[in-house]
C-alpha cells in the first residue's frame, strides 16, 4: 500500500538563469518554426544541434518515438528505443523464418551463450565463471547499446549539475548477514549496502524526504498531497494535504469510498478478521492467495467495494506487477516478502542508488570483466568512471558481452536429447551472425524467449503462453527546483486521473558525484511511473491494449500531457512548466512487468504452474532464467533464477559432454 512495502505505489540554484543542457521539444517549438521559415532544415534536427551541444544526440523524425535520451553513457538507451522495438517485432513477425542464406559464421564456440544482458544475464555469466572455472568461455548477447536491462539510468545536466534517475529497477533491500544474497552483494563490491544520503541544507525548515520513489515519507507526517481533478467534478482540481491525518475529510468522493479507502490506507483489517501473511513460498496461505485475485483479497481483508478498488487502488496497488488488483493473483502482493530481507527496524528500510539498480549492474560488470570500468572496484569507482566499451567484447576475456545484438534464433544441432552443441544467430546492424555453443541460458524474458528458441517443445511453449506482461513508461522529469512543492508543504503526491499516479522528491544516496545536501532550490528529477490498466478486462487483453496505447503515442504528445498536467496541478504554487521543467526523458518498456494471474504461482485445476514447467529442468542444453520465472519482478529473483539455471546446466548438461 502507498507508503508501505509495496513497490507499486507504491545546490544551490534559484532556478533563475538556469542553463540546461536541453530544452524540451515544446519550449523550443518557436525556435523550430523559425528555422522552417529561414531555410527548410529539419526543425527537429536543428533543435537537436542547437540545444544538445554536449549530447551529440541527433533528434530526428524517428525519435519522436524515442525522444530525448539525456546525456552520458545511457543517452542512446532510454527504455526500448525505436530500433530495439523494430528488431524485436521482426522476430515476432517471423522476418527470419525461414532463415536467410547470408548468415556470417564467426566460427566462435562458447561453453555457454547467454541471451540478455540484464541483471539475470550478468548474474548467469558470473555464476558460470565461478562454477565452471576461469577458463570457461561465455558470451552474453544484449540487444541494447548498454548492459543492464531494466536496471539502467538516465542522466541530465541541469545548471551544471549532473542528475541521475532510474529507468526501471530502483530499490534493493538489505539482506541478513551471511545469507546468499548478502554474500553475493559483497562479492560484487557492494560492501556497505546501507547507503548514506543527502542531508538537508539552507534556511528553510526541513521536510521529510524519501530515499526511494515508493517510500512516501511525507505521508505519515502530513507532508503529502492527494489531488482530485475533473474526474471528481473538481475544476480547477483540488488538493488535500495530509489526507490521512485529515481523514480525507474534504475529498470530493462519497462517504462510503472515504471510509473504505481510509481503512486501506491505514492498513486496518475488517473487524474480527485477522490476516496472516504467508511465511514460506507454497504454504497454505500462499496457495489460497494464488487461487483468488488481489482485488478479491482486498475486498476480503479490508472490506472494500470493487468500485473503491478500481477507482483508488488501480493500478498503483498492484503489488509491483504492472496491472491493477483485478487482473492479478493475490499472491503477487506477497511474493517479494518470501525473500525475507533484514527487517526494517534493523536495516533502515529500502535502499536506492541515484540511478537505481543500474549501479548493481555496473558492479556486476566490473566483477565479470575488471577492465570494463576502470578505477577502483567500489560503488564510487563504478559510478564515477565511464564504461570502457572496447573491453566488453575482447577475445582475451573468457566472458564477453556483445551489445546491440538481438538474438533471433537458438536451436540444438540435432535431437535436443542427444545433441552436443547448439547454434545461436543474432542480428547486428542489419546483418546476421552465427555462433556455436555447448549450452545456453535464456535470460531475456518470456516475450522473446518463446520466439527464438526454435525447437522449444510444446509443454514449454504452453507454459510461456501463460506468461503475460504489461507495459510501463517511466517518465523522468528534471525540474530546476522543487520550491513549488515546498510551498504546498509537501514532498510527494498522488493523483487519480491523467498521466502517471504519484511522484516524490528523493534525497539521493551519495556515490561521490552528488551534492551532499538538498533543499527546495535544488534541481531534482521527479519520476512518473505510467501504468496502463483497464480494470475488468482479461489480464492479457489489458497488457496488449496498454502496449498499443504506449507504442502509438509520440514523445511530443506525452511531453505535452506531462507539462499540462504539472501546470494544472502546481501553477497555483508558482510552478511554470515552460520555465521550471529542464528536461523530460521517457523510458518505454513494452513488456515491463510480468502480470501473474491466479494459479500462476502454484498451478490450478491439477496442472503444474507455468513457471514450474520452465524451471524444473533445462530443455536439452538450454536453461531458462530472468526474473519473470519467479512471477515477481525483483533483481534478487533475477539473480536467483540465474543461479538455478547455471546449476542445472552444470549438474545435468555440461558434466556429461
Ligand atoms: C518500471 C520497473 C520498476 C522496477 N523496479 C524494481 C525495483 O525497484 N527493484 C527491483 O529489484 N526490481 C525492480 N524491477 C524489476 C526488474 O525487472 C528487475 O529488478 C531486473 O532489473 C530484471 O532483470 P532481468 O535480467 O531479469 O530482466 P531484464 O532487465 O528485462 O533483462 C533482460 C535483457 O535481455 C534483453 N533481451 C531480451 N531479448 C533479447 C534478445 N532476443 N537478444 C538480446 N537481448 C535480449 C532485454 O532487452 C534486456 O536488456 C522493476 C521493473 C520495472 C519494469
* Nearest residue by C-alpha to atom 20 in ligand 1: 635
Interhelix angle for 635-648 vs 180-187, to 10°?
90
Among 122, 150, 636, residue to substitute to test ligand 1 (most atoms within 8 Å of Cβ): 150
**Mind listing the pLDDT tens digit for each residue in 138-193?**
999 999 999 999 999 999 999 899 999 999 999 999 999 999 999 999 999 999 99
- The confidence score (pLDDT) of residue 62 equals 53
| CB of 123 sitting under 6 A from ligand 1 | no
Please determine, for residue 13, whether its predicted confidence score (pLDDT) is greater than 50. Answer: no
Higher pLDDT, 10 or 89: 89
Using the mean position of ligand 1's atoms as its centre, give its distance from the Cα of residue 150 in Å: 4
| CB of 528 sitting under 6 A from ligand 1 | no
**Mind listing the pLDDT tens digit for each residue in 224-271?**
999 999 999 998 999 999 999 999 999 999 999 999 999 999 999 888
Using the mean position of ligand 1's atoms as its centre, give its distance from the Cα of residue 591 in Å: 9
**Mind listing the pLDDT tens digit for each residue in 434-447?**
999 999 999 999 99
| CB of 153 sitting under 6 A from ligand 1 | no
CA pair distance 317, 186, nearest whole angstrom: 32
Give 105's strand partners: 434
Using the mean position of ligand 1's atoms as its centre, give its distance from the Cα of residue 148 in Å: 7
CA distances from 447 to 362, 485, 514, 539, 654 (A): 25, 40, 37, 15, 27
Atom of ligand 1 nearest to the CA of 451: 41
Strands (E) located in 285-395: 351-352
- Cα 438 to chain center, whole Å? 32
CA pair distance 469, 547, nearest whole angstrom: 10
Q: How confident is the model at residue 18 (pLDDT cuts 50, 70, 90)?
A: very low
Mean pLDDT of all residues in 197-225 = 97
Using the mean position of ligand 1's atoms as its centre, give its distance from the Cα of residue 442 in Å: 13
| CB of 124 sitting under 6 A from ligand 1 | no
Please determine, for residue 208, whether its predicted confidence score (pLDDT) is greater than 60. Answer: yes
* Nearest residue by C-alpha to atom 35 in ligand 1: 116
Please determine, for residue 53, whether its predicted confidence score (pLDDT) is greater than 50. Answer: no
Among 79, 84, 126, 168, residue to substitute to test ligand 1 (most atoms within 8 Å of Cβ): 168
C-alpha cell at 563: 507539462
Q: What is the pTM (predicted TM-score) of this model?
A: 0.92
Q: How many CA atoms lie within 13 Å of 601's alpha carbon, on the beta-carbon side?
A: 30
CA pair distance 196, 199, nearest whole angstrom: 9
Using the mean position of ligand 1's atoms as its centre, give its distance from the Cα of residue 586 in Å: 16
C-alpha cell at 409: 534464433
Using the mean position of ligand 1's atoms as its centre, give its distance from the Cα of residue 545 in Å: 21
Atom of ligand 1 nearest to the CA of 147: 49
Using the mean position of ligand 1's atoms as its centre, give its distance from the Cα of residue 294 in Å: 24
CA pair distance 113, 115, nearest whole angstrom: 7
Percent of the chain with pLDDT over 90: 86
Among 469, 627, 631, 646, residue to substitute to test ligand 1 (most atoms within 8 Å of Cβ): 627
Atom of ligand 1 nearest to the CA of 593: 53
Using the mean position of ligand 1's atoms as its centre, give its distance from the Cα of residue 295 in Å: 26
CA pair distance 30, 36, nearest whole angstrom: 10
- Residue 478 near residue 599 (C-beta atoms within 8 A): no
Using the mean position of ligand 1's atoms as its centre, give its distance from the Cα of residue 151 in Å: 6
Using the mean position of ligand 1's atoms as its centre, give its distance from the Cα of residue 196 in Å: 26
Give the DSSP letter of residue 176.
Answer: P
**Mind listing the pLDDT tens digit for each residue in 388-399?**
999 999 999 999
What is the pairing mode between strands 351-352 and 171-172? Answer: antiparallel
| CB of 427 sitting under 6 A from ligand 1 | no
Please determine, for residue 378, whether its predicted confidence score (pLDDT) is greater than 90. Answer: yes
- The confidence score (pLDDT) of residue 30 equals 26
| CB of 481 sitting under 6 A from ligand 1 | no
Mean pLDDT of all residues in 423-429 = 98
Mean pLDDT of all residues in 50-68 = 56
Using the mean position of ligand 1's atoms as its centre, give its distance from the Cα of residue 340 in Å: 21
| CB of 591 sitting under 6 A from ligand 1 | no
Using the mean position of ligand 1's atoms as its centre, give its distance from the Cα of residue 108 in Å: 27
**What stretches of 501-634 show up as alpha helix (H) in DSSP?**
539-551, 555-570, 577-580, 610-615
- Among candidate residues 389, 476, 385, 449, the one with its CA nearest the CA of residue 624: 449
Amino acid at each position: 500500500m502507498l507508503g508501505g512495502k509495496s513497490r507499486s505505489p507504491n545546490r544551490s540554484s534559484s532556478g533563475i538563469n538556469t542553463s540546461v543542457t536541453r530544452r524540451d521539444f515544446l519550449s523550443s517549438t518557436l525556435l523550430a518554426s523559425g528555422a522552417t521559415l529561414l531555410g527548410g532544415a529539419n526543425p527537429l534536427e536543428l533543435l537537436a544541434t542547437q540545444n544538445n551541444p554536449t549530447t551529440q544526440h541527433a533528434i530526428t523524425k524517428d525519435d519522436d518515438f524515442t525522444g530525448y535520451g539525456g546525456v552520458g553513457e545511457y543517452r542512446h538507451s532510454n527504455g526500448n528505443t525505436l530500433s530495439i522495438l523494430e528488431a524485436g517485432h521482426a522476430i515476432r513477425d517471423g522476418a527470419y523464418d525461414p532463415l536467410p542464406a547470408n548468415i556470417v559464421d564467426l566460427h566462435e564456440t562458447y561453453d555457454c551463450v547467454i541471451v540478455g544482458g540484464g541483471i539475470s544475464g550478468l548474474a548467469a555469466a558470473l555464476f558460470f565463471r565461478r562454477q565452471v572455472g576461469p577458463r570457461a568461455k561465455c558470451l552474453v548477447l544484449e540487444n541494447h547499446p548498454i548492459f543492464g536491462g531494466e536496471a539502467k539510468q538516465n542522466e541530465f545536466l541541469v545548471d551544471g549539475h549532473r542528475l541521475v534517475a532510474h529507468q526501471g529497477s530502483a530499490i534493493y533491500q538489505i539482506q541478513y548477514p551471511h545469507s546468499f544474497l548478502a554474500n553475493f552483494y559483497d562479492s560484487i563490491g557492494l560492501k556497505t549496502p546501507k547507503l548514506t544520503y543527502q542531508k538537508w541544507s539552507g534556511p528553510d525548515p526541513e521536510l521529510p524526504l524519501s530515499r526511494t520513489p515508493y517510500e512516501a515519507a511525507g505521508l505519515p507526517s502530513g507532508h503529502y498531497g492527494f489531488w482530485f481533478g475533473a474526474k471528481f467534478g473538481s475544476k480547477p482540481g483540488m488538493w488535500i494535504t495530509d489526507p490521512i491525518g485529515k481523514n480525507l475529510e474534504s475529498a470530493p468522493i462519497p462517504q462510503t469510498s472515504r471510509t473504505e479507502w481510509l481503512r486501506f490506507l491505514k492498513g486496518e483489517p475488517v473487524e474480527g478478521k485477522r490476516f496472516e501473511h504467508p511465511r514460506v513460498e507454497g504454504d497454505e496461505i500462499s496457495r489460497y492467495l494464488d487461487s483468488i485475485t488481489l482485488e478479491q483479497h482486498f475486498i476480503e481483508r479490508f472490506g472494500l467495494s470493487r468500485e473503491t478498488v478500481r477507482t483508488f487502488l488501480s493500478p498503483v496497488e498492484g503489488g509491483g506487477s504492472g496491472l491493477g488488483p483485478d487482473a492479478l493473483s493475490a499472491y503477487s502482493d506477497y511474493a517479494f516478502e518470501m525473500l525475507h530481507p533484514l527487517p526494517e527496524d534493523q536495516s533502515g528500510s529500502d535502499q536506492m542508488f541515484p540511478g537505481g539498480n543500474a549501479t548493481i549492474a555496473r558492479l556486476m560488470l566490473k566483477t565479470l570483466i575488471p577492465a570494463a570500468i576502470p578505477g577502483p572496484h567500489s560503488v564510487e569507482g563504478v559510478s564515477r568512471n565511464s564504461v570502457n566499451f572496447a573491453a566488453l567484447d575482447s577475445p582475451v576475456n573468457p566472458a564477453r558481452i556483445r551489445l546491440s545484438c538481438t538474438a533471433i534464433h537458438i536451436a540444438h544441432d540435432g535431437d535436443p536429447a542427444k545433441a552436443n552443441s547448439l547454434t545461436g544467430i543474432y542480428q547486428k546492424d542489419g546483418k546476421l551472425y552465427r555462433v556455436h555453443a555447448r549450452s545456453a541460458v535464456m535470460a531475456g524474458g518470456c516475450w522473446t524467449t518463446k520466439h527464438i528458441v526454435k525447437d522449444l517443445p510444446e509443454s514449454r511453449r504452453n507454459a510461456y503462453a501463460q506468461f503475460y506482461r504489461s507495459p510501463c513508461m517511466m517518465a523522468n522529469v528534471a525540474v530546476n527546483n522543487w520550491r513549488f512543492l515546498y510551498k504546498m508543504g509537501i514532498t510527494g503526491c498522488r493523483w487519480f486521473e491523467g498521466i502517471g499516479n504519484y511522484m516524490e522528491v528523493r534525497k539521493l544516496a551519495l556515490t561521490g558525484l552528488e551534492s551532499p545536501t538538498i533543499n527546495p532550490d535544488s534541481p531534482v528529477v521527479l519520476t512518473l511511473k505510467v501504468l496502463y490498466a483497464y480494470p475488468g478486462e482479461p489480464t492479457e487483453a489489458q497488457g496488449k491494449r496498454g502496449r498499443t496505447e504506449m507504442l502509438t503515442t509520440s514523445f511530443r504528445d506525452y511531453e505535452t500531457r506531462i507539462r499540462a498536467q504539472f501546470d494544472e496541478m502546481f501553477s497555483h504554487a508558482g510552478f511554470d512548466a515552460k520555465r521550471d521543467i529542464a528536461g523530460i526523458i521517457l523510458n518505454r518498456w513494452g513488456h515491463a512487468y510480468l502480470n501473474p494471474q491466479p494459479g500462476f504461482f502454484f498451478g490450478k485445476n491439477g496442472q503444474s504452474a507455468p513457471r514450474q514447467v520452465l524451471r524444473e529442468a533445462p530443455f536439452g542444453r538450454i536453461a531458462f532464467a530472468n526474473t519473470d520465472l519467479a512471477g515477481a519482478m525483483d533483481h534478487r529473483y533475477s539473480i536467483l533464477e540465474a543461479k538455478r539455471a547455471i546449476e542445472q546446466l552444470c549438474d545435468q548438461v555440461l558434466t556429461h559432454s
